[in-house]
Amino acid sequence: MLWLLVMIIVGHCKDKPFPEPSRRLKIGVIICARNEESVVGNLIDSLKAQDYPADSFEIFLIAHNCTDKTAEVGKERGAVVWEAIQTDHPCKGTALTFAIDKIREEYPDQFDAYCIFDADNLVDPGFLTEVNAGLQSGEAQAFLGFRDSINPDDNWVANMCATHWLVVTRAYNMPRRRLGLSCFVEGTGFAFLKECVEPEGWTAHSITEDFEFTAKTILKGKRITHTLRAKFYDEQPTEFNAWLAQLYRWMFGAKKNTHFAGKALANLFPHPVQKMDLFWNATAPLVAGLVTLATTAVFIYATATQTPLIPQTLLPNSDWTFNLILGVGAILGSYLAMLIMALLSVVYCGKPVRKYLRGILTYPFFILIASLLVIVSLFNKEYRYIPLIHKGRKSS
């Protein structure tokens, strides 16, 4: 938490533009979709409307274990469509391996970079132009766009999730760019030079392939940069159970990826600050969950046994009832700290506070549930994927 606070304060900055690029990269845009016929056409249409020259990018749709008309919709919209039926670990990571291997086989040496989207995304017209500038800026070998939300007004769940992504942008990614550290990929809306996956291809196959890709990129000595000017939109869940399932997948994946903390320490040099930042991120969800559980257990035990948490040698007038004051103070302090972070993130990203008020007020609940779910994940060895059903919004 102290490291996060330092980053937020020291890393505060305006979003500076990238230098004018020397050339146009040829970009392969990859969409991995599983039964997304209702939304994938909207994404392809928004990609077709890019201000980046049409001869400098190609759209590849991977219809991954689909049983609907996802492939047909992609072909109608003008994408290159490949259908992949994978029964061995059928996840987004294996779909990306299939896509990049096939592109390298059928389009040898034609693409300088790859850009990854989820089927429910929409993309601002200037996105690929910013990708081109960012990847040639000299800052980094990979690039992360600004994840905005299509449907923050739907209900409190969608508003809370939309606020979460604004916090990720303001408190995590923008400070890292300012401090010369690597940003962390968050599932979609990112791009990378082909050298990031050469010669081995795409190797991130965990259920949180985004963090795995980020960790492997950092361990290779490469960086991921970010800008608010490359905006794309993501559809947020509106049902509580759907959000809970999504959050549990992230926390289960976070547990699985804690081994990157050891790899970061074992390969601390060169770029030791970058590697320590990876260490903290790989351990943060698990540590936060354990601290939440341990702190709650201590307060319950101390109150039940009427044991003062602060010895009378330090606070002469204290007794066990003072535990209640400490407990309430800790809860309110934590709530206010997270609420303020959410509020500042909304303001910093140029969003109206009134529109995101429900998300600001409930963001601490988001963090609390995430901390508890990572503890739950410790008792489960396997994860069963539950797909989200997207409704197919066309505008934010």
Q: Calculate mean pLDDT across residues 95-110.
A: 94
pLDDT at 309: 82
Residue 252 clears pLDDT 50, i.e. is over it:
yes
pLDDT digits (tens, 9 = 90+) for 207-222: 899 999 999 999 999 9
CA within 13 Å, CB half, 184: 21
Domain boundaries, the chain: 2-7+20-238, 272-377
Q: Tokens 């990031």 label which residue?
A: 196
pLDDT at residue 88 in the model: 67
390, pLDDT greater than 80: no
Cα torsion 166, 172, 178, 181: sign: negative
Write the Ramachandran bin of 58: left for phi over 0, alpha for psi from -120 to 50, otherwise beta. beta
Identify the pLDDT of residue 220: 94
- Structure-block tokens of residue 104: 């390298």
Half-sphere exposure of residue 111, counting CA atoms within 13 Å on the CB side?
A: 28
Q: CA-to-CA distance for 266 and 96, rounded, in angstroms? A: 28
Which pLDDT belongs to residue 396? 45
Average pLDDT over residues 80-106: 88
- State the Cα–Cα distance between residues 293 and 287, nearest whole angstrom: 10
Check whether 313 has a pLDDT greater than 80. no
Tell the burial category of 211 from Cβ atoms under 10 Å away from its Cβ (0-12, 13-18, 19+). buried
Confidence band (pLDDT; 50, 70, 90) for 59?
Answer: very high
| pLDDT, averaged across the chain | 91
CB of 99 closer than 8 Å to CB of 65: no
Rounded mean pLDDT of 53-65?
Answer: 96
Segment 236-251 shows an average pLDDT of: 94
Q: Which amino acid is at 88?
A: D
Q: Model confidence over 33-49: pLDDT tens digits? A: 999 999 999 999 999 99
Fold that domain 2-7+20-238 belongs to in CATH: Spore Coat Polysaccharide Biosynthesis Protein SpsA; Chain A (3.90.550)
Mean pLDDT (whole number) for 150-175: 95
pLDDT at 392: 64
pLDDT in tens, 127-158: 999 999 999 999 999 999 999 999 999 999 99
Structure tokens, 37: 């016929």
| pLDDT value for 312 | 72
pTM recorded for the entire structure? 0.91
